[in-house]
């Protein structure tokens, strides 16, 4: 399953003002074959100080379950405006979510991190299940999750 995130939706909050240079980045999240309901998955960015900077994508459209993405909920305040236009269906057991978007060059190797929270109905909630720096050294290297995520790979 492949989703392409519209550049305008995610980069508006993550692009530096005044026409910053940007580069294409692909985020590939593969879930373990856990055999349950589809997972709610959210990818969001924090800066070097740990402050929330924006949401890249949310898989899972029912707002009543968003509270189970507790790391994102705390960071973003759970505001619906944070995910307007950047949501899709939940991700099934053993499936892959692949999104591509443009991120400001200034975010790479500057201490920013991508966090991935997961939650499954009648299952565990995993805040910051995977945390990966937006760093050239991390590009193309899969990182294992602590819960439902088999791997997250960020490619610049």
Q: Is 28 exposed, middle or buried (0-12, 13-18, 19+ CB in 10 A)?
A: middle
pLDDT, one tens digit per residue, over 46-85 is 999 999 999 999 999 899 999 999 999 999 999 999 998 8
Closest to 11 (Cα-Cα) out of 27, 22, 3: 22
> What is the model's pLDDT at position 83?
93
CATH pick for 7-155 out of 1.10.287, 3.10.129, 2.50.20, 2.60.40: 2.60.40
| Residue 49 exposed, middle or buried by CB count within 10 Å (0-12, 13-18, 19+) | exposed
Range list of H helices, 1-156:
7-14, 70-76
d(CA 62, CA 11): 23
| CA dist., res. 34 & res. 46, Å (int) | 28
Structural contact between residues 115 and 101, judged by C-beta atoms closer than 8 angstroms? no
Q: Hey, CA dihedral for 15, 17, 19, 20, is it positive or negative? A: negative
* pLDDT surpasses 90 at 20: no
**Residue-wise pLDDT tens digits, 110-154:** 999 999 999 999 999 999 999 999 999 999 999 999 999 999 999
Predicted pLDDT at 119: 97
The residue ranges of every structural domain in the chain are: 7-155
Which pairs count as long-range contacts for 80-83, CB under 8 Å and 24+ apart, including other chains?
82/54, 82/55, 83/42, 83/55, 83/58
Query: What predicted TM-score, i.e. pTM, was given to this entire model?
Result: 0.88
> Six-digit token pair at 18?
């005044």
Per-residue pLDDT at 133: 97
């Amino acid at each position: 399953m492949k989703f392409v995130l519209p550049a305008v939706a995610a980069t508006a909050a993550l692009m530096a003002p005044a026409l910053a240079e940007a580069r294409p980045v692909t985020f590939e999240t593969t879930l373990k074959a856990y055999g349950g309901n589809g997972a709610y998955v959210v990818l969001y960015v924090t800066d070097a100080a740990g402050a929330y900077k924006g949401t890249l994508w949310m898989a899972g459209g029912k707002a009543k379950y968003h509270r189970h993405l507790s790391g994102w909920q705390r960071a973003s305040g759970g505001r619906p405006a944070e995910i307007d236009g950047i949501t899709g269906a939940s991700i099934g057991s053993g499936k892959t979510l692949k999104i591509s978007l443009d991120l400001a060059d200034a975010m790479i190797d500057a201490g920013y991190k991508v966090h991935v929270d997961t939650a499954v109905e009648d299952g565990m909630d995993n805040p910051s299940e995977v945390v990966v720096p937006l760093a050239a050294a991390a590009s193309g290297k899969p990182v294992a999750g602590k819960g439902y995520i088999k791997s997250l790979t960020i490619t610049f």
